[in-house]
Amino acid sequence: MLDKFLSLGEQPYSQDDAEWDAFVAAHPNGSILQTTNWARLKNRFSWAAKRVWLKKDGQLVAGAQILFRSAAFGILKMAYIPHGPLVDWQDEEMVAALFNQIDWACYENRAGLVKMEPLLWQDEMPAAAWQTFCQRQEVTTQPDSDTIQPPRTSIVDLRPSLDDILANMKSKTRYNIRLSAKKGVTVRQGTLADIPIFNQLMRVTGQRDAFGVHEPIYYKAFFEIFAPEQAAMFIAEFEERPLAAIIVSAVGEKAVYLYGASGNEERQRMPSYAVQWAAIQWARARGCTEYDLWGIPDAEPDELETNFTQRRDGLWGVYRFKRGFGGQIKRTVGATDRVYNKRVKKLYEWRRRR
């Protein structure tokens, strides 16, 4: 196998980048978080990126896009592989070879640990098998609380007809989608000029629901980099007043609901349902086969159904809305750490607790 390192920056889109992105789009565990554009986005916000991969017979067979960041006055330097590595997890020889390349990249960049969160579902690798696998590969599985990406999500199957997709939703969700149209809500696709609208709605949402949001420049940067090839914004309006907006992405056959916001006015017109339905239709028209609602509470299905009407903390506040779209609940194997410096690990844990 051939290994190769590639430093990512704001360089022009190269042939190597195109090859990598095609690999990510086609990989069963591929994700927007492993694309070249995601590295370009993070490059603008104090992250450096490096890519390692393995080739066989001239073809990419495995790889990882690694993000590096320093904190605590440069004392803490860690690496992070969101939704990666991308590898055949059943081929332990290949996994070991790729981990060697990850180790070398972390050594060159003086990272004390690397956190990995592969988009590998538990129905592909059950928890007990994953724990045993990680022990053999000398990586440490982490508590469920020590994840950066939400490990559990709901995925809507886009392969049926639109009528069948609607039929698979909860009756109240179907009703609200139709109600929004009856009550005069229209949905349009936004442009970069609409980012101030999105930011204003996001501020309102964060204040109302008490959760953190990115700085306005972040959403602008995301849209500049990803739209229109890999992302779209949808804005629900009533009498030309914006009521709700979402940003979704599409990589390969996977569409993802990334960011959403809504105002406090005219909520009885159900604008949030209107923009989600528009995004689902957009994703399906692009050839996507699934629509990932990107994060629900990390609880078993029975607990989710028992508690969703009472709880509002964390992701519980959005679960009642997301469950209505009839998606399949799935969970990843979670996070693992590969530790190179125990003191850096302790400092990282201290900062996480704070």
Judge whether 2-149+332-353 and 152-331 match in fold: yes
Query: Residue 24: CB partners within 8 Å, gap ≥ 6?
Result: 30, 31, 34, 35, 86, 251, 252
Where the chain has pLDDT below 70, the residues are: 1-15, 72-74
Put the strands of the sheet holding 152-157 in their side by side order: 186-189, 231-238, 241-251, 254-262, 290-292, 152-157, 328-331
Distances from the Cα of 148 to the Cα of 254, 288, 312, angstroms: 20, 25, 20
The ranges assigned to domains in the chain are 2-149+332-353, 152-331
- Sign of the CA dihedral with 70 first, then 71, 72, and 76 last: negative
Residues in CB range of 90: below 8 A, 6 or more apart: none
Residue 137, classified by CB atoms within 10 Å of its CB into exposed (0-12), middle (13-18) or buried (19+), is middle
Phi, psi angles (nearest 5°) of residue 22: -65, -40
Looking at residue 349, what is its pLDDT? 81
Q: CA-to-CA distance for 304 and 316, rounded, in angstroms?
A: 9
> Is the Cα dihedral 133, 137, 140, 142 positive or negative?
negative
Does domain 2-149+332-353 correspond to CATH entry 3.40.630.30? yes
**How confident is the model at residue 15, as a pLDDT?**
53
CA torsion sign for 32, 146, 349, 219 is: positive
Q: What is the token pair recorded at 179?
A: 């109600």
In which region does residue 19 sit, left (phi positive, over 0), alpha (psi from -120 to 50) or beta (all else)?
Answer: alpha
- Rounded Cα gap, residues 330 and 352, in angstroms: 26
What DSSP string runs through 272-296? Answer: HHHHHHHHHHHHHHTT-SEEE----
| pLDDT reported for residue 24 | 98
Task: Give the residue carrying structure tokens 């045993």.
Answer: 132
DSSP reduced 3-state for 71: strand
**Chain centre distance of CA 210:** 21
Residues 6+ apart with CB under 8 A from 335: 115, 116, 117, 141, 142, 146, 147, 148, 151
CATH number, span 152-331? 3.40.630.30
> How confident is the model at residue 74, as a pLDDT?
66
Does the pTM exceed 0.75? yes
pLDDT at 20: 96
